[in-house]
Amino acid sequence: MKTFTTADLNKHVGEVTEAAAKEPIVLTRHNRPKFVMLSFEDFERITAPLKDNRKVFRTADTPEPYRTDLLKALEDVIGEEGDDHDSA
């Protein structure tokens, strides 16, 4: 990862942002890492797993791995409810 100072950013904004467009860079202040600059695309890729990834599907459109898990969970619940009614 390339490193630039905050003074470099002020003096050579084009060079620094061009470098950040290619890969994340470190910006230092007083010889200490203070910031990371990266392209918006890299930011989106990195933060995508952190976003709310709940999805809603119509039954017919549910992808196979979810469908299998859902059916198994429903079978488990139905089986448990059936066991409760049998013992009453």
Sequence spans of domains, the chain? 1-53, 55-88
**d(C-alpha 44, C-alpha 50), whole Å:** 10
Residue 26 bridge partners (DSSP): 3, 36
**d(C-alpha 79, C-alpha 51), whole Å:** 35
pTM: 0.56
Q: What is the pLDDT of residues 29-60, one digit of tens each?
A: 999 999 999 999 999 988 887 776 677 778 78
**d(C-alpha 61, C-alpha 5), whole Å:** 51
Class of the domain covering 1-53: alpha beta
Radius of gyration of the chain from its Cα atoms, rounded to whole angstroms: 26
Q: What is the pLDDT of residues 53-86, one digit of tens each?
A: 677 778 788 888 888 888 888 888 888 666 655 5
